[in-house]
Amino acid sequence: MKWEDVTLLTQKALAQSMDKTYMEQLGDISALPIEKLVDVGKDVTDMENTVEKFTKALVSVIAYYEFMQVNIREEFDDLFVKSEEWGGFVERIYYGLATVIDDPMYNTVNGTSYADIENKFYQPEVSAKVFNEAKACMVPISIQRDTLQEAFRGPNELNSYISGIHSMVSNTIKMVRKAYGRMAVAAGIAISDKATQTSVHLLTEAKAAGVVEQDMTAENALQDPNFLAYACKRISEIKDYITVESTAFNNGSVLASANEVKTYLLNEFERSVRFNLRADTYNPEDRSLGDYKTVTSWQGVASSGNKFDFASLSKIMIAADADNKLGIGTEAVTVNSVIGVAFDSRAIGCCLSKAKITSSYTACADFWNEFTHILTNWIVDTNLPIVAFIVD
């Protein structure tokens, strides 16, 4: 198992998620080294060391207390998959197609030898990827009960206060999970656009098809019923197409089809569809996008002094990576005007997800330290279909 330090990345991602300085990291959208979080898998190519040789793949009291606990909504909770469902994401085996040849059984010829067919070895087309990266972070908190007792009228209020501290830890973990989910999806979007080139450029297509004017911008497109209808049609089409066995929507290395399609749509786009298509042109039954989830933003909510504008919400920025781990090049990558992404449910997710609490007591100062340990492995599997939808 390979260990990667993602502490600084986590701090930066949390700051951008909240548009707030967090642990000295600024909240404005900036490039993140997402490759440190995402595990894209390694091809199993050392054939001599594989196990089998068949396929070769394997304070003071006051009157009233109000404990202001914030309920953090987990936006990408469906990306967390049980280990028993995906097998711990240790290794994935991919199968191609077997050889198809002429069948001599129905057309035998006298005196013909069939030994070359009978004794030839037909090796199955099998490949494998191993996912063996783990990312860990820790949330520490100190609790001192006796010195707090003088600030409360009884044990119930004291326990409520301490419960609030534990809720704060829980909310921190939720925010970390949300930030990690954003980065994993952002990686999938960037890979679709820059590496596998499966992304759909909706505005370019709409202009080429004569649906909208050539000078239309992304912001204007979200207000245009003709474009919105076209975009809905294309998203619906692609969600159907990626369930067909092909190499059109993955990295082209293996035959793949989406087993279950997950779709995330940007809130601003989804609201534009609902409110900017006139009632006589938009009917949910006629223009259904199928099942989908909405997200507020892909990375952050503020950039260049603007907050919650389309440009900020629809942008992802990934830092330069000399190793080109994600396959999107070694230079920094920015993708603008992303309004959605559809992918196989197994293509993006977090399988390894463990949490453990350890504690220690400091007797001289009479306080307890609690450490919440979080271990995750975030996967982006380019062998499976991933399609980003971009308004450019």
| Residue 134 φ/ψ, nearest 5 degrees | -130, 140
Q: Which two tokens stand for residue 83?
A: 């280990």
What are the beta bridge partners of residue 12?
none
- β pairing state of 338-344 and 293-295: unpaired
CA distance linking residue 180 with residue 177, whole number of Å: 5
DSSP single-letter state for residue 297: -
Q: Note the pLDDT of residue 137.
A: 86
Enter the tokens of residue 197. Answer: 């080139």
Specify the pLDDT at position 3. 62
pLDDT along the chain (392 residues), means of 10: 75 84 86 86 57 40 46 70 54 75 83 86 77 82 77 74 83 87 94 97 97 94 94 95 94 89 95 76 60 92 89 95 95 96 92 82 88 87 95 96
pLDDT digits (tens, 9 = 90+) for 282-302: 455 555 688 999 999 999 899
H or E segment and range at residue 225 = helix 225-241
Q: Report d(CA 382, CA 68) in Å as an integer.
A: 43
Angle, helices 155-190 vs 7-18, to 10°: value is 100
Confidence (pLDDT) at 188: 96
Between CA 227 and CA 125 the distance in angstroms is 43
Can you list the positions of beta strands (E) in 17-110? 38-39, 42-43, 91-95
Could you tell me if 341 and 262 are in contact, meaning their C-beta atoms sit under 8 angstroms apart? Answer: no
DSSP alpha helix (H) spans, 19-135: 83-86, 115-118
pLDDT in tens, 223-233: 999 999 999 99
The pTM assigned to this predicted structure is 0.81
CA angle 341, 347, 352 (to 5 degrees): 125
Q: What is the largest CA-CA distance in the chain?
A: 105
* β-bridge mates for residue 369, sequence order: 142, 360
Q: How many CB atoms lie within 10 A of CB 245?
A: 10
Question: Helix or strand or coil: residue 343?
Answer: strand
